Amino acid sequence: MFDFLDSGQYDLLGAFWVTVQLTLYSAVGSLIWGTVLAGMRVSPVPLLRGFGTAYVNLVRNTPLTLLIIGCSLGLNQTMGVTLGGGTFKETGFRLAVLGLIAYTGTFVCEALRSGINTVPVGQAEAARALGLSFTQVLTLIVLPQAWRAVVAPLANVLIALTKNTTVAAAIGVAEAALLMKEMVENEADALFAVFGIFALGFCLLTLPTGLLLGWVAKRVAVKR
Amino acid sequence: MKVLKVGAAAATAVVLALTATACGGGSKDSASDAGASGGGKSDKIVIGIKFDQPGLGLKTPDGKYTGFDVDVATYVAKELGYQPDQIEWKQAVSAERENLISNGDVKFIAATYSINDKRKAKVDFAGPYFLAHQDLLVRTDDSSITKVEDLNKKKLCSVTGSTSAQNVKKDLAKDADLQELPGYSECLTGLENKAVDALTTDDSILAGYAAQEKNKGKFKLVGLKMSNENYGIGLKKGDKELQTKINAALRKMVSDGSWEAAVKKNLGPADYKNEPAPQITEGS
């Protein structure tokens, strides 16, 4: 049933490694971008608030496939954006990370905003009374407490992101889902075995993530 | 690898269990339909085709079906005793073709279905009814590609995971810059914008795109015969009777000139030099 694995024709580990890389780059990028967005959405400047709200609502409700293919067809093929990638392989990877960051950042932002709401108003008021600026209140007082409250929801976002990387196959990034497409094309007699392998592969990536971050969430949560 | 296989086997069992519960309804419905029409021979035949390949199998916006595969399937159905209005067309996406056949969702499939041994393990074929080759589509004014070796310095585009894309990566042109996109239409966008130099897949499919009204005169086929793809008609494994009937229908279609007419009608406008009808090799 799994004979085709022994032929050495498929680089399973290599494909999943690309999936892991996509996930890591996008995770770091979307944490930063999501924090910036959350800062915008709670800032006292109406223009920033408006931009943040509009961006989050627009991008969050756009299908990811549309965003990623838009990155490839719109940015790359029509406007010639390569993000410094020489070949389609490099460019595709970078465009996929860009699309994933743009999309996942909105979810990180919303999770953080809910975390900001767990911080009692008195904390910010006390900080203001001490004469701290908005930026200082946010970065020194509110965000550190908010972060600790949202580890569990962010773990969900990270797991969703791991699975969302499969969409990058649509623009030819050589990750797990692309290898699966190739295997489905070639191994017509073992379709379920192919699905099984990839289902297992993603479970091996996401289950430990969920367990580990669940434990971290318990450890760091603010006991109020 | 041992551990991987055990785990994968377990995951496979889960996938199977899920799909069995999710798709259990389909076949039962058709069985009751056949009963409702008064037993005996059901008055409909379900045939799998592509819906998105101009010149081969295309569902037009007004709900009609056109293309060479459609014409072949219609002819075969007629020989089996079904009029065109008794045909129900079903979309057969490449990855689902084997399952559509083995679950009995379709009677047979004519959807650029290349005959190969792995597929023969799951389904039987009649035919082949067409011989295609992997080829390249380039802009009309581009004559820089004349042989396979020229590809290593070129930007190519093909469909994600397809056999054509794998051929390029593994043997034809390892150094070529290959972009894989979800569909051929997306590749055409890049070809027109000069983001890629050539689109590669079966010449029959390329001819279908080049023959489209909106693409007339923009693209041309290079004519490199980089592989042999024998299109067959897929049917349930072990259905020798149907296989023999379809083979007879295909032979008749070639001998009475309908086959040639269908090729010319659907793929001719692209100045495509098709191979003569192949010898039937499957079954008898």
Output the six-digit token pair for A11. 């680089």
Per-residue pLDDT, averaged over B115-136, amounts to 93
pLDDT band at A177 (very low <50, low <70, confident <90, very high): very high
Beta-carbon separation of A172 and B1 below 8 A: no
pLDDT reading at A191 higher than 90: no
- pLDDT at position A84: 81
B11 to chain A: which residues are within 8 Å by CB? 195-197, 199-200, 203
Output the six-digit token pair for A171. 């623009």
pLDDT band at A5 (very low <50, low <70, confident <90, very high): confident
What are the residues facing B156 on neighbouring strands? B178, B198
- pLDDT at position A82: 81
pLDDT digits (tens, 9 = 90+) for B62-121: 999 999 999 999 999 999 999 999 999 999 988 889 999 999 999 999 999 999 998 999
pLDDT band at B201 (very low <50, low <70, confident <90, very high): very high
- B12, B14, B177 ranked by CB distance to A88: nearest: B177
Per-residue pLDDT, averaged over A117-143, amounts to 94
Per-residue pLDDT, averaged over B127-133, amounts to 93
pLDDT reading at B32 higher than 80: no
Domain definitions of chain A by residue range: 3-220
Q: What is the pTM of this model?
A: 0.82
Write down the residue that tokens 């559509």 correspond to: B100
- B7, B160, B193 ranked by CB distance to A77: nearest: B193
A193 close to B (CB below 8 A)? yes
How many A×B Cβ pairs under 8 Å?
116
- pLDDT at position B185: 85
- pLDDT at position B39: 40
Q: What does the DSSP assignment read for B74-142? A: HHHHHHTT--GGGEEEEE--GGGHHHHHHTTS-SEE-SS-B--HHHHTTEEEEEEEEEE-EEEEEETT-
B166 to chain A: which residues are within 8 Å by CB? 182, 185-186
Distance CA(B10)–CA(B19), nearest Å, equals 14
B122 to chain A: which residues are within 8 Å by CB? 188-189
A199 close to B (CB below 8 A)? yes
A170 close to B (CB below 8 A)? yes
Most confident of B8-12, B126-130, B158-162: B126-130
Residue A154 φ then ψ, to 5°: -65, -30
Residue B24 φ then ψ, to 5°: -65, -25
Write down the residue that tokens 């909105």 correspond to: A106
Rg of chain A in Å (alpha carbons): 21
A191 close to B (CB below 8 A)? yes
CATH class, A3-220 region: mainly alpha
- pLDDT at position B16: 60
**Residue with more model confidence, A3 or B235:** B235
Q: Tell me how many degrees the CA angle A33-A81-A174 measures, rounded to the nearest 5.
A: 80
In single-letter form, the type of residue at position A200 comes to L
Beta-carbon separation of B94 and A197 below 8 A: no
Whether omega for the bond prior to residue A208 falls within 30 degrees of 0, making it cis, is: no
